[in-house]
Amino acid sequence: MVREEIEWLDVWVPGNSNTQLPKVLLVGDSITRGYYGTVETALKGKAIVCRLTTSKSLGDLGLIEEVHLILSQTKYDIVHFNNGLHGWGYSEKEYEKGFVELLKTFKKDAPGAKLIWATTTPMREPGKDQFQAKTGRIKARNAIAATLTNKEGIATNDLFGFLEEKPAFWSGDGVHLNGNGTKALGSLVSEILLENLSSKPLKK
């Protein structure tokens, strides 16, 4: 089991008693947590937007346990999920195995939900217009995810492709986005979610 210096978990489930609107769950890391507010605002009055953001990585059973816990509390109409910027101590083979387990968890705990996989975003050298070496591993992980999600007929939201040629969207650390980048990514996610929302929520 690989542990990071700081482990964190951020769960937010507003409007849980609302049975009139569809519910959307965003699963991801700090990138997801960053654009959550933009998505929540864009879908206001159309869907309840919740989040499960965490430092846990595919390969770590702790992630599966967290997802299981949140899905057991509420039925979601859409689950938009991403994982790939943490867990560098896990090999891509372990990442693949963890991805398979994650899909099994979604099928078991959210059988009626529409699944949308979001590709992991690139990492840039701080202050430079070039990618960090870890972006090569991100590409490998995205390729693994593409193979597995395509096999299952799961939709893809290509966040990597959207950001690849937009270096001005990064903050100084080369990992996180600045305000403009976060807003743009949130707008993209919102568009995808709106395209996939049904007019009526799942029966609770």
Mean pLDDT for 149-155 is 98
- Domain definitions of the chain by residue range: 9-196
pLDDT at position 71:
98
pTM (2 d.p.): 0.95
Q: How many CA atoms lie within 13 A of 186 on its CB side?
A: 22
Higher pLDDT, 129 or 156: 156
pLDDT at position 93:
98
Render pLDDT for 55-73 as a digit per residue (tens, 0 to 9).
999 999 999 999 999 999 9
Higher pLDDT, 14 or 126: 14
Instruction: Give the DSSP letter of residue 2.
Output: -
* pLDDT band, residue 192 (cuts 50/70/90): very high
pLDDT at position 144:
98
> How many Å apart are CA 116 and CA 94, to the nearest integer?
22
Render pLDDT for 76-108 as a digit per residue (tens, 0 to 9).
999 999 999 999 999 999 999 999 999 999 999
CATH topology of domain 9-196: Rossmann fold (3.40.50)
Rounded to the nearest 5 percent, the helix, strand and coil shares of the chain are: 45, 15, 40
CA geometry: angle 97, 100, 105, nearest 5 deg: 125
Strands 114-118 and 48-54 come out as unpaired
